[in-house]
Structure 1
Amino acid sequence: MSILNVMWAGGSAFASVHKVHQQILGLAEPGASVNTWLLQGNAAGCKTKVGQVREWHLSSARLKGRHLWKLLAPWMCARFRQALPDDVEVLLLDGLGAARVLLPVLKSLPGIRAVVVFHGSTRLRRADYKLFNRFPSSRLTLVAVSQTLARSVEHDLQVPVTVLRSAFNPVAFGTALLSREQARSWLGLPLATPVLGAVGRLVSGKGFLCLLDAFAATLVDQPDLRLVIVGEGPERAVLEARIEHLGLSDKVSIPGHLHEAATLYRAFDWVAIPSSDEGLGLILQEAVMAGVPVLVSELAVFREQLADTGWYAPIGDVGAWSQTINRALGASAERIAAAQFRALAPDQAWKDFSEATQALLSRRQ
């Protein structure tokens, strides 16, 4: 089997998408060949193993058919078709953007099957309905990384969407984890100090401004608490300004995007995920698998995974987040982490994901 994996771009902004595609590709049948196209960015920014990479270095205007590039869409299709490996059987596409670019190429190539992976909510155009209805189910499968997202996409597109809830191999993930002492040493944190952690791209949708304000309010009752936000992004300057304004420079650190982030969760007593929207939330899975309890926004996709074991707070509600952090620090983190681990059921989740992925990739017309 030959698989062509088409990613929108490289870089830390797309790290979670890369992880999901690496998980899928890692479950292809033995001997399968994998090639990856990066429509934007470079291979150095794609820090997961996704086979041999071809960089296209295309602008957003060209990819989205803006301005004069709309007139050159047939020429772009011809370029992509000419570059397709002769033996490719499955095209794995990174969301709606990659689907819009590559699916038109497949109209006259009946031997290639496409799988489009939706990682989060997206804005649909009228032309998208025509695009997805152009292919029979034997040639096109739409999948979403959670049940919540699948229902949303299916409702919007009015076409079937398969649930492929992304999961990690528990054994491999656990083996790579650093101990609490090692992780705290790596991050330069004292062993005895209570630490709240957060991981994610520094963008408004991750809710880190709300978290900073809630953390500042919590310090009235928890003066020794520290906060570490692991990530990078365009809102760094905004967050740093808020930290300075709140006088938290000695209490909050933002060490940037760390390739080792998935090994460091045990440095934290709790992990906060104050996002306003998520397709799945890999950070939730990673933290719980590391034995660290999570505080999360009141999102359906988080309830899908944690049910009643989750500690939820309303999106953007600083007071509620501060109260939830305070309550968490007075509770048994070990007991709550164990309950959340049982709810997430990582072993069963990995088994289900593996079986669904293998069936998806091996499906024939």
Structure 2
Amino acid sequence: MPQRIALIIPTLDQSGAEKQFTLLATHLSKADFTCRVLALTRGGPYEKILQEHDIEVRILNKRWKFDPWAYSRLRRELIEFDPDIVHTWLFAANAYGRLAARAVPRAKVVVSERCVDSWKAGWQTFLDRRLIAGTDQLIGNSKSVVEFYRKLGIPESKLGCIPNGIELPVIEPVSLASKETWRSEQGIPKESFVVGYVGRLAPQKAIQDLIWAIETLRQIRPQCHLYIAGDGPERGRLERLVHAVHANAHVHFAGHVNKTDEIYRHIDAFCLPSRFEGMSNSLLEAMSWGVPCLASAIPANAELIENARSGLLFNAGDAVGLMQGLRRFIDEPELRHHLGQQARQRVSSEFTISQMVDRWVSVYRSLNAVNG
């Protein structure tokens, strides 16, 4: 009989954790697992993908931080579904899910943490500690996330690490005409060297460091342009910064982009200057496309990029070091090519979807064995 897995997440928005959540749900063997997705607050783009794979999705319409009606609905859903595993993702779902799982005492509870959550308020870390007893496994997507929760007091026996997985794209040669057309469509001169960023525009992403680096670099390498794909709370401030330093002609805001393949096919380099991360999907994607990558040397990024072997690292917050890394990419095309090829090879050997799914299956089966 297939194991029943209740997968709980706040939303099905188009973001990194939701993408990994959906990849896992849609790649689990239907012969071995029956999944039900419970989205606390709302659906989103991934709802349709899940439904296309015949995965049942229930939206609970949570309205407030603590919504007793949503909690009651979640509890009833779990009682009715009677899962073998309750697998929660992200803080709200981790809290609601662990509390509601008490209604199905035979179910094992797996918590998925996706970031070094230094943003958490005191009441949130207090709640995390109080819910340890109701947690059978807490899985981080990077060693740095696991270390963060180890310091929070999660017992070693309950901790594990499963990196993100990604599909390796088929790469076809990009013609000069295609590059020039794409640049023209984005309002970028055709002879430009384009540095890309794809992701949420949030404070921890430190996009201002990247803008300062581009502004400095363009004084000596005027062909350098920055293409920013994404949206978020920092966008207005970043646009004002670009205007203030008169870099409008060199920094291009694309907003949210649904399909990013064309970006990775046409940019010359990718940069992720984050101050903290869990494991970046966009960095993995860029590496999988063979794009040379420059990233801050925070632990999560250093787990993906081996400095000077599969990319370049710089100290977080060091805009000068960031600029120097980009200048190397511009000046050393052979280095760019080598690092891009090694990045793709690293993804193909260690960060595939099948590897990610197999690791989760091992967790589920080990907990099922405990259930007997």
Give yes or no for TM over 0.5: yes
Aligned to 1:111: 106
Describe the shift of the 1:99–1:234 C-alpha distance in structure 2 as closer, same or farther (beyond 3 A): same
Instruction: Give the whole-Å Cα distance in 2 for the aligned partners of 1:256 and 1:236.
Output: 9
Describe the shift of the 1:93–1:203 C-alpha distance in structure 2 as closer, same or farther (beyond 3 A): same
Residue deviations 1:206-240 (CA, integer Å, cap 9, x gap): 11111111101000111122110000111111111
1:302 corresponds to 2:304: no
- More displaced stretch, 353-362 vs 185-194: 185-194
Task: Report the count of equivalent residues.
Answer: 345
Instruction: Give the whole-Å Cα distance in 1 for the aligned partners of 2:316 and 2:198.
Output: 17
Alignment counterpart, residue 142 of structure 1, candidates 138, 142, 150:
138
Aligned to 2:362: 359
- More displaced stretch, 322-331 vs 279-288: 322-331
Instruction: Give the whole-Å Cα distance in 1 for the aligned partners of 2:143 and 2:49.
Output: 25
Whether the 8 Å CA contact 2:312–2:325 is kept in 1: the answer is: yes
Where structure 2 has 5 or more consecutive residues not aligned to the other structure, the ranges are: none
Alignment counterpart, residue 340 of structure 2, candidates 326, 337, 357:
337
Aligned to 1:66: none
1:61 corresponds to 2:59: no
Aligned to 2:164: 166
- What amino acid sits opposite 2:112 in the alignment? V
Instruction: Give the whole-Å Cα distance in 2 for the aligned partners of 1:33 and 1:186.
Output: 43
Whether the 8 Å CA contact 1:27–1:357 is kept in 2: the answer is: no
Residue deviations 1:129-165 (CA, integer Å, cap 9, x gap): 2312245xxxx22111112211221232332311111
Describe the shift of the 1:239–1:345 C-alpha distance in structure 2 as closer, same or farther (beyond 3 A): closer
Instruction: Give the whole-Å Cα distance in 1 for the aligned partners of 2:126 and 2:163.
Output: 27
Aligned to 1:7: 9
- What amino acid sits opposite 2:144 in the alignment? T
- What amino acid sits opposite 2:6 in the alignment? L
Superposition pairs of residues 73-88 of structure 1, within 5 angstroms: 73=68, 77-84=71-78, 85-88=80-83
Question: Per the alignment, in what secondary structure is the counterpart of residue 163 of structure 2?
Answer: coil
Q: Percent identity?
A: 19
Instruction: Give the whole-Å Cα distance in 2 for the aligned partners of 1:291 and 1:127.
Output: 42
Aligned to 1:93: 88
Aligned to 1:68: none
Instruction: Give the whole-Å Cα distance in 1 for the aligned partners of 2:112 and 2:182.
Output: 35
- What amino acid sits opposite 1:152 in the alignment? F
Instruction: Give the whole-Å Cα distance in 2 for the aligned partners of 1:178 and 1:337.
Output: 14
Question: Per the alignment, in what secondary structure is the counterpart of residue 295 of structure 1?
Answer: strand
Aligned to 1:69: none
- More displaced stretch, 215-224 vs 80-89: 80-89
Question: Per the alignment, in what secondary structure is the counterpart of residue 168 of structure 1?
Answer: coil
Residue deviations 1:144-199 (CA, integer Å, cap 9, x gap): 111221122123233231111111132xx337x89466576456255532111111
Whether the 8 Å CA contact 2:62–2:70 is kept in 1: the answer is: no
Question: Per the alignment, in what secondary structure is the counterpart of residue 276 of structure 2?
Answer: coil
Describe the shift of the 1:280–1:150 C-alpha distance in structure 2 as closer, same or farther (beyond 3 A): same
Instruction: Give the whole-Å Cα distance in 2 for the aligned partners of 1:112 and 1:183.
Output: 53
Describe the shift of the 1:109–1:279 C-alpha distance in structure 2 as closer, same or farther (beyond 3 A): same
- What amino acid sits opposite 2:152 in the alignment? D
Cα deviation, residue 287, structure 1: 0.7
- What amino acid sits opposite 2:59 in the alignment? E
Describe the shift of the 1:54–1:354 C-alpha distance in structure 2 as closer, same or farther (beyond 3 A): closer
Whether the 8 Å CA contact 1:39–1:57 is kept in 2: the answer is: yes
Describe the shift of the 1:114–1:262 C-alpha distance in structure 2 as closer, same or farther (beyond 3 A): farther
Describe the shift of the 1:110–1:263 C-alpha distance in structure 2 as closer, same or farther (beyond 3 A): farther
Question: Per the alignment, in what secondary structure is the counterpart of residue 125 of structure 1?
Answer: helix
Residue deviations 1:311-359 (CA, integer Å, cap 9, x gap): 12222222222222112211231012123334x2423432542321221
Aligned to 1:128: 128
Whether the 8 Å CA contact 2:37–2:56 is kept in 1: the answer is: yes
Whether the 8 Å CA contact 2:19–2:46 is kept in 1: the answer is: no
- What amino acid sits opposite 1:349 in the alignment? F
Whether the 8 Å CA contact 2:194–2:226 is kept in 1: the answer is: yes
Describe the shift of the 1:318–1:48 C-alpha distance in structure 2 as closer, same or farther (beyond 3 A): farther
Describe the shift of the 1:154–1:265 C-alpha distance in structure 2 as closer, same or farther (beyond 3 A): same
Cα deviation, residue 48, structure 1: 4.9
TM-score (norm 2): 0.84
Instruction: Give the whole-Å Cα distance in 1 for the aligned partners of 2:262 and 2:361.
Output: 27
Superposition pairs of residues 154-303 of structure 1, within 5 angstroms: 154-159=150-155, 160-170=158-168, 173-174=169-170, 179=174, 182=178, 185-186=181-182, 188=185, 189=188, 191-303=190-302
Whether the 8 Å CA contact 1:43–1:53 is kept in 2: the answer is: no
| CA RMSD, 1 decimal | 2.5
Describe the shift of the 1:112–1:158 C-alpha distance in structure 2 as closer, same or farther (beyond 3 A): closer
Question: Per the alignment, in what secondary structure is the counterpart of residue 111 of structure 1?
Answer: coil
- What amino acid sits opposite 2:27 in the alignment? L
Describe the shift of the 1:48–1:215 C-alpha distance in structure 2 as closer, same or farther (beyond 3 A): farther
Instruction: Give the whole-Å Cα distance in 2 for the aligned partners of 1:362 and 1:190.
Output: 54
